Amino acid sequence: MSDASDATTAKRGPTPDDGLKVAKSGPVLAADGTPLKRSLARALRMQKMRALMLIAPLLVFVLLSFIVPIVSMLFRSVENEIVENTLPYTTEQLAQWDGTTDQLPGEPVYQALYFDMFLAAELKRHTRLGTRLNYESTGMSSLFRQSGRKLDDPGKDYRKAFQGVDDGWTDAATWLSLMTGDPAADRDTALVKAQKARLARLDDTRLPGLPEFAPSTEISELLPLTARTYTAFAVMTELVDEKDMAKAKPIESVYVALAADLAAADVTGYSGPEADRLKALAASGAATAPDFAAIFADIDKDWANVATWRTIQTHAAPYTSGYFLNAVDMRKTPEGAQAQPEDKRILVKLFIRTLIMSLIITG
């Protein structure tokens, strides 16, 4: 038998240099002809995929049963959109008020509150906000509930006064004609979309499509508050209640809005539908400017209390630390985080006592 000379010809025993020769001659191949390195990497990937597939059901279970609820709970602990969604125009106006002073907000804030609160009461959503704010200031729940029941009264008074000038102001057709304007007039579709979004947030629902009604641009510019209030009423009537606007008599807040607009607008140049009726109403003196601050003061004296407005302003942001502060016997105020009154500091004391008792029992 002849001696092996190298690893490739098998004429001599292998030497350390033979490995270099084999490496230089080309990549090592697997049985199927693919490079061994690539084949091993692919096999490793397949093993990892199989391992992942085996634990995937457990991962999904943990994610859905534990992670998602925990994340949702943490989000809800800081989420606070209910104030802004229920009182959008009020919070916008209230942002300009200095809550650190002892002065009450101005008339624009009370005006915004009237129309925000009225619409929320129509959808039975004002009590939710009262309950939320009651956690921050005792008495807010009853304040909102009582206010929602009495907001109709000013509108009824204006409706009666308008009817004394012309019976047509109580007809659905009169309002629809006035707000729609000339058939060929431009439509304020932006206002319709804005009010639809407002009601969707308020009612916490999705409203499909758009209502058939859309105010004329001329009316929106001439009577902006009336157009906004009537458009919100139209969205509620057509998309929420699914009723015909031609048969729907306006809600009381529309009369209040028209009175506020006529107190500031000059309608002498208007020549569209219901022009004569509108001019006669403006000239009659029946549409006196509403005193919104007085309206709310008559409903409940707490609306003339600075503390009420501070509570609303402080918790108007879409996210809040109030819940966490309450858990450690503190509260959120216009000046920042402060300790709760002495008679309300019980949570930390209760936690310490519970901890001591647990240590005694387990010790």
Q: State pLDDT tens for residues 200-238.
A: 999 989 998 899 999 999 999 999 999 999 999 999 999
Instruction: Identify whether residues 2 and 142 lie together within a single domain.
Output: no
Residue 259: closest CA among 246, 272, 278: 278
Q: Which domain holds residue 128?
A: 108-293
Domain count, the chain: 4
Q: Within a domain: residue 338?
A: yes
Instruction: Reply yes or no on whether the pLDDT at 96 is more than 50.
Output: yes
Q: Within a domain: residue 172?
A: yes
Q: Within a domain: residue 314?
A: no
Instruction: Reply yes or no on whether the pLDDT at 99 is more than 90.
Output: no
Residue 11's pLDDT band (cuts 50, 70, 90): low
Encode pLDDT of 144-183 as tens digits: 999 999 999 999 999 999 999 999 999 999 999 999 999 8
Distance CA 171, CA 174 (A): 6
Q: Dig out the tokens for 42 from the structure.
A: 């692919």
Instruction: Identify whether residues 147 and 278 lie together within a single domain.
Output: yes
Distance CA 253, CA 257 (A): 6
Alpha-carbon torsion 90, 94, 99, 101, what sign?
A: negative
Instruction: Reply yes or no on whether the pLDDT at 19 is more than 60.
Output: no
Q: Within a domain: residue 93?
A: no
Query: Is the pLDDT higher at 23 or at 333?
Result: 333
In this structure, are residues 174 and 168 in contact, taking their beta carbons and an 8 Å threshold? yes
Give the SS3 label for residue 244.
coil
Whole-Å CA distances, 181 to 4, 85, 186: 108, 30, 9
Instruction: Identify whether residues 21 and 35 lie together within a single domain.
Output: no
Distance CA 269, CA 257 (A): 20
- The string of DSSP letters for 67-111 reads IHHHHHHHHHTTB-THHHHHSHHHHHHHTTS-TTSSPPP-HHHHH
Alpha-carbon torsion 325, 318, 302, 123, what sign?
A: negative
Instruction: Identify whether residues 165 and 281 lie together within a single domain.
Output: yes
Instruction: Identify whether residues 209 and 273 lie together within a single domain.
Output: yes
Q: Within a domain: residue 36?
A: yes
Whole-Å CA distances, 206 to 203, 209, 240: 8, 10, 10
Q: Supply the pTM of this predicted model.
A: 0.76
Instruction: Identify whether residues 328 and 239 lie together within a single domain.
Output: no
Q: Within a domain: residue 311?
A: no
Instruction: Reply yes or no on whether the pLDDT at 335 is more than 70.
Output: no
Query: What per-residue string of b and e applies to 262-295 under the rule 16 or more CB within 10 Å gives b?
Result: beebeeeebebbbeebbbebbeeebbeebebbeb
Instruction: Identify whether residues 249 and 168 lie together within a single domain.
Output: yes
Residue 73's pLDDT band (cuts 50, 70, 90): confident
Instruction: Identify whether residues 160 and 189 lie together within a single domain.
Output: yes
Q: Within a domain: residue 180?
A: yes
In this structure, are residues 214 and 306 in contact, taking their beta carbons and an 8 Å threshold? no
Residue 46's pLDDT band (cuts 50, 70, 90): confident
Task: Pinpoint the alpha helices (H) of 25-63.
Answer: 36-62
CB count in 10 Å sphere of residue 153: 12
Residue 1's pLDDT band (cuts 50, 70, 90): very low
Q: Within a domain: residue 83?
A: no
Instruction: Identify whether residues 135 and 284 lie together within a single domain.
Output: yes
Distance CA 312, CA 333 (A): 10
Instruction: Identify whether residues 8 and 72 lie together within a single domain.
Output: no
Whole-Å CA distances, 116 to 85, 111, 195, 203, 349: 10, 9, 12, 13, 40
Instruction: Identify whether residues 49 and 189 lie together within a single domain.
Output: no
Distance CA 13, CA 134 (A): 92
Instruction: Identify whether residues 254 and 284 lie together within a single domain.
Output: yes
In this structure, are residues 220 and 254 in contact, taking their beta carbons and an 8 Å threshold? no
Q: Dig out the tokens for 26 from the structure.
A: 């080309």
